[in-house]
Every structure is written in structure tokens, then in C-alpha cells.
Amino acid sequence: MDSHYLKQIQAFYRSHKRMPSYSELMAVVGFRSKNAAYKLVERFVQRDWLDKDAKGRLLPGRLFQDLPVLGTVSAGFPSPADEELTDTMSLDAYLIGNKEATYILKVNGHSMIDAGILPGDMLLVERGADPRDGDIVIAQVDRAWTMKYFRKRGAAVFLEAANKDYQPIHPQEELKIAAVVRAVIRKYH
């Protein structure tokens, strides 16, 4: 079956971090002829299973970097074999807008628990971005770094904790926004 060949190519990509050449592909799938691998690739390219660049080299496409999106939880959980899984997405492309300015930060306290951010969560933050009203930001207030909601009322800006017991922080002079929180990632171990 052809899909078995595809899985072998995907395995090669994961272990070598690059696509195979035709000689390597020939060895991977067990052909004795480089041309057999060439024709296999041409078949896969026509089915949109593989991509080639201008120089004929293989490129990792959707099937190599993306994950299948099944749907929504409450709307049901269809079996992947049942329907066409056309909807896929790449985690990296989805989460990282500006890779140069993106950093990872670990959450330590319970201060943002009302915003659904738990201790141990990972934050994807972007430095140098200017925050909009309602964004969660990493800010420096009175020489201490904290995570707060960024609020803008006209020209006035202030910081608001996720916990409603705390009072909003209206900075006197200096309000240094270090980074804007772009995503929250929680992994269960």
C-alpha cells in the first residue's frame, strides 16, 4: 500500500530532520532502482502528498509538519478513518508569529488562575510588541516583574490583576511592558 511508503518517508524526515534524496528513498522503501523511487514521488506529488521545490528536491509539506484537526469536543469526535481529514494545522506556524521576538516563560504562582493560567503552564510571549486593551502582559512595575491584564481607557493605561480582590495598578511614571502573552501551553505529564 502506498500509505505505508508515506509513513516510511515521514519516519525518515523525523529522524533525519530533512527529506530523503531519491537514492535514500530507494533504500528506505526497499527498491532496487532509483527510478522506482522517482516515479513513486511523482505519484505522491500528483496526490498532493509530497512537494518538490524548483530544483527537484523533496519538501516537507502538510503531512510532515501538521497535525489533523478532528473538530470540536461538544460537536462530537469523529473517527479519523471515517471522513476526509482535510483540516490540518502546524503548531509552530499557528503559535509563533514573530519567531525572532518569541520567548518561553514558565508560570510560577496562582495570580492568573482566574484567567485560566495555572502554575506550571508555559507562556509564549512576544517582546517589543505594543499591547492592546485586554491583552495579558509581562510588565515591570516598581522594579518588579508581574503578569497582568493591560487596560487602556482613552489615553490612560493601567494594569489589572486577574484576581478581582486586587486593586488595579495605576503607574505613576514608568510602566515598562516587557512582553505580550500570545499563548498559554499546558502539558499534562
Residues in the interface with DNA (CB under 7 A) total 19
Q: Does 56 bind its own copies (CB under 8 A)?
A: no
Q: Please report how close the Cβ of residue 65 comes to its own copies at its closest, in angstroms.
A: 8
Give the nearer residue to its own copies in terms of CB position, either 2 or 69.
Answer: 69
Q: Does 18 bind its own copies (CB under 8 A)?
A: yes
Q: Does 177 bind its own copies (CB under 8 A)?
A: no
List 136's β-bridge partners, or say none. Answer: 149
Q: Does 9 bind DNA (CB under 7 A)?
A: no
The three grid cell numbers given for residue 180, joined into one nine-digit string? 505580550
**Rounded distance between C-alpha atoms, residue 147 and residue 72, angstroms:** 30
DSSP helix/strand/coil, 76: coil
Q: Does 68 bind its own copies (CB under 8 A)?
A: yes
Instruction: Give the pairing type, strands 102-106 and 122-127.
Output: antiparallel
The three grid cell numbers given for residue 115, joined into one nine-digit string? 484567567
Q: Does 140 bind its own copies (CB under 8 A)?
A: yes
Burial 91-106 (b: 16+ CB within 10 A, else e): eeeeebeeeeebeebe
Q: Does 18 bind DNA (CB under 7 A)?
A: no
Find the catalytic residue in 21, 34, 52, 111: 111
User: Which option in DNA, its own copies, none does residue 56 bind, with CB closer than 5 to 8 A by kind?
Assistant: DNA
- DSSP of 95-122: H-S-GGGEEEEE--SSTTGGGT--TT-E
Binding site for DNA (CB under 7 A): 21-24, 31-36, 38-40, 43, 52, 55-58
Catalytic residues: 111, 148
